[in-house]
Structure 1
Amino acid sequence: MVKKIGCEIMHYDCLIVDDEIPLAQSTAEYFNLFGVNSSAVFDADACIEFLKFNTVDLILLDINLGETSGFDLCQSLRKQTQIPILFISARQSDDDILLALHIGGDDYIRKPYSLNVLLAKVKVTLKRYGTKKIDFYEYQHLYIDYSAQKVSIHGQPIQLKSLEYKLLCYLIENRNKVVSKEDIFNHVWGDHFTSDGTLNVHIRHLREKIEEAPDSPTLIRTVWGIGYSFNEQSS
């Protein structure tokens, strides 16, 4: 189930994507008992929706997801993120394992699995990939606390909607580069079907919240016919 409190993005250590609902729920509950903040969804669409409103450090992904294959979901996710994806599946063939690793999976864990062994693998993976996290970003009057996922202007906290926050972070991640609308649709919204109008509204609202003069923006620049750029000038 997607969790959203107000307009704040929730952060999780682990997201379990598995159509075996009791198993997914019990695994998430077990992880939570041992300090790995986890949630579970049960199909590909729910996973995509979850990631619109939440961030995660690792995904446990089943291959069989009803009408959708975990392989297809993995390939879609790899267009947006490089966070670790560990496949969990009852399928035993070497071909499945090789395919899972070839398309971007970081490991393949066979069902039935031992919860304590799976937890150990998850903790090791989180530790390995978590060492390079950036805690904050600061430029001029803008400050972002990534760990708390909060944004401040001149030291005063502001409220960003979840997609506004993801949009801002993606532009900053690619600062001083021109980011095409297509890239923004894929990485922020997670699809190709978002309209230019929707993006324009989010850009306008974001500028109203972070720019000193929203009508003459200096941070988020429009590159006509292409997309946008977060402009960070060297002093």
Structure 2
Amino acid sequence: MPSVLIVDDDADLSAIVARYLESEGFAVVRAASAEEAYDVLGARPFDLVLLDINLPGDDGFAACEALRRASDVPIVFASARTSETDRIVGLDTGGDDYLPKPYSLRELLAHVNALLRRSRGRSGGAGRPLVAGPFALDEAAGTLAKDGIVAALSPKEFALARFLIAHEGETVSKERLLAEVWGAFSEVEPQTVSVHMSWLRAKVEDDPSRPAHFKTVRGRGYRFDAEGGAS
């Protein structure tokens, strides 16, 4: 179930949007300020953030910059500020899309779905497993199978595998994995990533001490190799 964080101080509007997205199969959390959003984002990751500009405390531009320093989560600005300058600043600070208020709920859903499809990259359409080498990752079922055998992964192990598989061939730092798997402003120690990676390897690698797929790149982080091979 895709998760969306709505950051908007208009409680009535955010409640309407939340109910609509929930009816369309999304898990939704609301925050009334950037500061509240930071706390929420420190506790868990999200698949997308819907962000207003006019907020108490840090405005939406500042919130976007702070979030973008920690995470690549898709960000949609949804604001009554519709000038060209505001749209440019929103995109330049790291926003992925800009939706002017007022908008229809169907239009919002179309923007959200389009951005989620792009962010998932190789995963294809909804409901289709992501296949990479001997692995098949089923987002809807929350399972990872190797050679047709489903591994008994914890939610964090699954999320860790999902992120690395989706970024096949890319070296990902521990800090980025913490942001994308545990939460953008999480205070979890980087060693937590190493521990979960060890647990993941124990369940999916033929020889966890010499992983063929979930590899360590010394001094830089981890990389997923679909084809496998010597570490």
Q: TM above 0.5, one fold?
A: yes
Q: How far 1:206 moved relative to its partner?
A: 1.0
Q: C-alpha distance in 1, partners of 2:39/2:63?
A: 11
**Which whole-Å deviations, capped at 9, do the CAs of 1:149-197 have from their partners, x for residues lacking one?**
3212443433433332232122223333433334434443424854342
Give the secondary-structure state (helix, strand or coil) at the position aligned to 1:216: coil
Q: Does 1:171 align with 2:157?
A: no
TM-score by length of 2: 0.73
Deviations 1:21-72 (A, max 9, x none): 3431222113444x363523113225414652xx43x432122443333222
Contact 1:179-1:227 within 8 A present in 2 as well: yes
Letter in 2 for 1:121: E
- Any gaps of 5 or more consecutive residues in structure 1? 1-9
* Corresponding position of 1:121: 107
Change (3 A) 1:126 1:182: closer
Match of 1:227 in 2: 221
Identify the residue that residue 100 of structure 1 maps to in structure 2.
90
Match in the other structure for 2:26: 37
Q: Does 1:81 align with 2:72?
A: yes
Q: Is contact 2:21–2:109 with CA below 8 Å preserved after alignment? A: no
Percent identical residues:
29
User: Are 1:109 and 2:103 counterparts?
Assistant: no
Q: How many residues are aligned here? A: 215
Per the alignment, in what secondary structure is the counterpart of residue 227 of structure 2? coil
Aligned to 2:104, what secondary structure does the other structure show? Answer: helix
Distance 2:82 2:228 in 1: 54
Amino acid at match of 1:229: R
- Counterpart in 1 of 2:201? 207
- Counterpart-to-counterpart distance in 2, 1:139 and 1:95: 42
Partner letter of residue 141 of structure 2? A
Whole-angstrom distance in 1 between the partners of 2:78 and 2:132: 41
The one-letter amino acid of 1:123's match is L
Hey, what does 2:2 align to over in structure 1? 11
One-letter code aligned to 1:215: S
Separation of aligned partners in 2, 1:30 and 1:109: 18
Separation in 1, partners of 2:174, 2:215: 13
- The equivalent residue for 1:60 is 50
CA offsets 1:66-110 (integer angstroms, 9 cap, x no match)? 333322222244452263x33233556664444223323311423
Task: Give the number of the structure whose residues are more often strand, by fraction.
Answer: 1
Match of 1:207, as an amino acid?
R
Structure 1 length as normaliser, TM-score? 0.72
How large is the Cα RMSD of the aligned pairs?
3.2
In 2: Cα distance, 1:77 partner to 1:63 partner: 14
Distance 1:31 1:199 in 2: 32
